[in-house]
Amino acid sequence: MLEAPDIPPAAITAALRDHYAIDSGNVSFLPIGNDPRSFVYRADNADGTRNFVKLRAGALHAPGLLVPRALRDAGIGEAVAPIRTCSGELGVPLGGFTLIAYEYVHGDTAMNVGLTAAQWRTHGQTLARVHATRLPDDLIEQLPHETYLPASFGFLRDLHPRVLAGDVVPQSRDEALAFWRARADTIAQLLERTRTFGAALGARGLPNVLVHSDIHTANVMVDGEGALHYVDWDAPMMAPRERDLKFMIDATFCGPSTPGYEAAFLEGYGIDRVDPLALAYYRHDWVIEDMAAYGNDVFRRRDIGAITRADSFDRLQRMFDPRGTIDIALRSP
């Protein structure tokens, strides 16, 4: 999120001290990320170290913390996992949020700095290891399983006619209403194609594996030595591997790209092609989830500021750009 929540930095510092024995001299809000429920900070500690701190709205979401921890314990060190508190917990409640502390990765995202061909191969090898990991049965039961209908499908289906009818919050701008209405047919087409592709894919019976579900290159950190680190495990689930692989099949999701990056990634992963129907469905799934989130910010939410609302409208508009996510989805067979 771009705007900090109403939690004093001193409260975060106190939680780090009391629950983690981390003596943080300064906690700085970082206006980054696209998750309306997450707020992130950098803690600069008295001993010269740093921690990455996340405040996640609502109750503790156990799978998002347990999965990367389980992966680390299984030897996949690229998974950035939460630090345990002094009492062994993976997060602590703080003013309506859950506070989660992580080791700080000194580097930048692959979205910003790009990956070499060798790093793309390593990325493929690492993601294949994640997908091959067998979690304990009790943890698998806690994870969502693929339903072949996006989680926000019903919300967007209901939002669409409300926006067309002008049933929006007063903070919504006329420009945003006009933009949405001008693309009404495309939005309806996306909803219908998503339902059709999902039904066809569900009938195929593809095997489910553990997926990150949001492993675009903004969630892959590259440290100063060139090693990769997977962050933001807020929504792991059991689904066909293509839910993750879609991010590596088109440069729209990849940031700066090395020529031949896709072949390098697939070589590392150990396959030479991705199921086209699964790719089509998951491209549509991504569009539906993003459009629902941005549409909610722009037209329905009353609890966000003007900066966040304007940013969401900008992101919504960019979805419709040539070679944007909607264009790519609609080009899918």
Q: Is the dihedral of CA 235, 239, 241, 243 positive or negative?
A: negative
Task: State how far the Cα of 48 lies from the Cα of 41, in Å rounded to an integer.
Answer: 16
Task: State how far the Cα of 126 lies from the Cα of 185, in Å rounded to an integer.
Answer: 40
**Same fold yes or no, 1-104 and 106-333:** no
How far lies 271's CA from each of 119, 124, 242, in Å?
A: 17, 10, 12
* Contact criterion met (CB below 8 Å) for 228 and 119: yes
Q: Quote the strand ranges of 172-287, DSSP E.
A: 209-211, 220-223, 228-230, 237-239
Residue 313 structure tokens? 């409208």
- The pLDDT score that the predictor gives to residue 259 is 73
- The pLDDT score that the predictor gives to residue 76 is 96
pTM over 0.75: yes
From first to last of its 333 residues, the chain has per-residue pLDDT tens of 568 788 999 999 999 999 999 999 889 999 877 677 789 999 999 999 999 999 988 766 788 899 999 999 999 999 999 999 999 998 999 988 999 999 999 999 998 999 999 999 999 999 999 999 999 999 999 999 999 999 999 999 999 999 999 999 999 999 999 999 999 999 999 999 999 999 999 999 999 999 999 999 999 999 999 999 999 998 999 999 999 999 988 656 566 666 788 999 999 999 988 999 999 999 999 999 999 999 999 999 998 889 889 999 999 999 999 989 999 999 987
The domain limits of the chain are 1-104, 106-333
Helix (H, G, I), strand (E, B) or coil at 107: strand
Question: Measured between alpha carbons, how far apart are the two ends of the chain, in Å?
Answer: 34
Task: State how far the Cα of 57 lies from the Cα of 29, in Å rounded to an integer.
Answer: 15
User: Selecting from 1.10.10.1800, 3.90.1300.10, 3.30.70.100, 1.10.510.10, what CATH number does the domain 106-333 have?
Assistant: 1.10.510.10
Pairs from 107-110 (Cβ < 8 Å, separation ≥ 24): 107/221, 107/222, 107/223, 107/224, 107/229, 108/221, 108/222, 109/217, 109/218, 109/219, 109/220, 109/221, 109/222, 109/255, 110/217, 110/218, 110/220, 110/221, 110/222, 110/228, 110/254, 110/255
- The pLDDT score that the predictor gives to residue 257 is 62
Vertex 62 angle, CA 59 and 63, to 5°: 135
Q: Does domain 1-104 have CATH number 3.60.15.10?
A: no
* Contact criterion met (CB below 8 Å) for 208 and 239: yes
- The pLDDT score that the predictor gives to residue 323 is 86
